[in-house]
Amino acid sequence: MSKLEQLWRRGTELLGSKYAIMGGAMSWVSERNLVSAISNAGGFGVIAASSMPPERLLEEIKATQALTTKPFGVNLITMHPQIRELIEVCRASNVSHVVFAGGLAKIEFIDAAKTFAKVICFAPALVVAKKLIKRGVDGLIIEGMEAGGHIGPVSTSVLAQEILPHVTEVPVFVAGGIGRGEAIANYLQMGASGVQLGSKFVCAHESVAHENFKKLFIRSAARDAGVSVQLDADFPVIPVRAINNKATEEFNRCQRDTIAEFHAGKLSKEAAQLKIEHFWAGALRRAVIDGDVERGSVMAGQSVGMVTAEQSCAEIINELVAQAEGQLKNF
């Protein structure tokens, strides 16, 4: 057994995959084609259920199962209004792993999923990690603010230092800003059991992301993946990391104009907040599927700067593994 295999053994045993490399669940991107390709290449693909209704999730799971016999997971958002029905769809479809995201999973959700699957949850802080372990989760993901999409306030390197030395009960997967195997090796040596990467797989041949979306990824640098700005403390904005474009400028203008309308008495506070929140409705789909990368939301992690070409999932994973093994030979 190689040093790399030893370091992520707990991770591979939990996932049932050759490599403890999870694919991040990205809405509109992490669907049947990419998920099955990641799993077939030895990694662990994860379907992004996002806002899917139960019947749509069932269709996606069945389609993924038709493309791979390897294990894969389903990412469920805890705030989904039909979360219980989605868990039941996973059970009925013999899904082996459920990943809960978007908030602290209730004990009833974890208990329900554990009757048929391994349960993995996101832990944004050590106190949350300990709480989730008490609730019976089988694994944890710690994701830093370098990640794409909705993010927390703490960097990956800090989270790793805060959590990895103190959590040994379950395997922990590190995510956020990982673009090379050397970083994977370093986190494994710190105590992680695996990693999760999202942005690295966006430009895979098997990804259904629009050609415009992929081209923007390839030509973007780390600094281009910025975080949405909140202009007024009275009107909170959920921080999202995405590549800056015309929509970014328009969102800031929308906030300024809407807040001005509120102060002028033209809008209630509730109406103003709703107007700001609705700005991005459908924006991710516009970018990923329709290819409107100027007025859509091009969610990307800071590791986007390390995405320089379109590759197959197998090439991406093999490259990461080779880099990790090369790093470990130096120690």
Q: Is residue 69 part of a domain?
A: yes
Q: What is the domain count for the chain?
A: 2
Express as a percent the part of the chain with pLDDT over 70: 100
Domain span including residue 245: 221-299
Q: Per this entry, what is the length of the chain?
A: 331
DSSP secondary structure letters along 227-281: EPPP--TTS----EEEE--HHHHHHHHHHHHHHHHHHTTSS-HHHHHHHHHGGGT
Q: Is the pTM of this model over 0.85?
A: yes
State both tokens at 287: 């970018």
Instruction: Say whether pLDDT at 1 is over 90.
Output: no
Model pLDDT for residues 287-324, shown as the tens digit of each residue: 999 999 999 999 999 999 999 999 999 999 999 999 99
Spatial separation of the C-alpha atoms in residues 76 and 69, rounded to whole Å: 21
Same domain, residue pair 120 and 260: no
Q: Is residue 216 part of a domain?
A: no
In sequence order, the 6+-apart residues with CB closer than 8 A to the CB of 219 are none
Supply the pLDDT for residue 141: 98
Supply the pLDDT for residue 330: 80
Same domain, residue pair 280 and 171: no
Provide the pLDDT confidence category of residue 237 given band limits of 50, 70 and 90.
very high
Q: What is the mean pLDDT of the chain?
A: 96
Q: Is residue 214 part of a domain?
A: no
Q: What is the mean pLDDT of residues 86-102?
A: 97
Model pLDDT for residues 244-271, shown as the tens digit of each residue: 999 999 999 999 999 999 999 999 999 9
Helix segments in the chain, DSSP class H: 3-7, 9-15, 32-40, 54-65, 83-92, 107-114, 126-134, 156-163, 181-190, 199-202, 211-219, 246-263, 269-277, 283-288, 313-328
Spatial separation of the C-alpha atoms in residues 227 and 242, rounded to whole Å: 6
Q: Is residue 64 part of a domain?
A: yes
Q: Is residue 165 part of a domain?
A: yes
Spatial separation of the C-alpha atoms in residues 324 and 232, rounded to whole Å: 43
Provide the pLDDT confidence category of residue 230 given band limits of 50, 70 and 90.
very high
Model pLDDT for residues 14-71, shown as the tens digit of each residue: 999 999 999 999 999 999 999 999 999 999 999 999 999 999 999 999 999 999 999 9
* 329 touches 189 (CB < 8 A): no
* 184 touches 200 (CB < 8 A): no
Instruction: Say whether pLDDT at 331 is over 80.
Output: no
Same domain, residue pair 99 and 197: yes
In sequence order, the 6+-apart residues with CB closer than 8 A to the CB of 225 are 148, 241, 242, 243, 244, 300, 301, 302, 304, 305
Q: Is residue 51 part of a domain?
A: yes
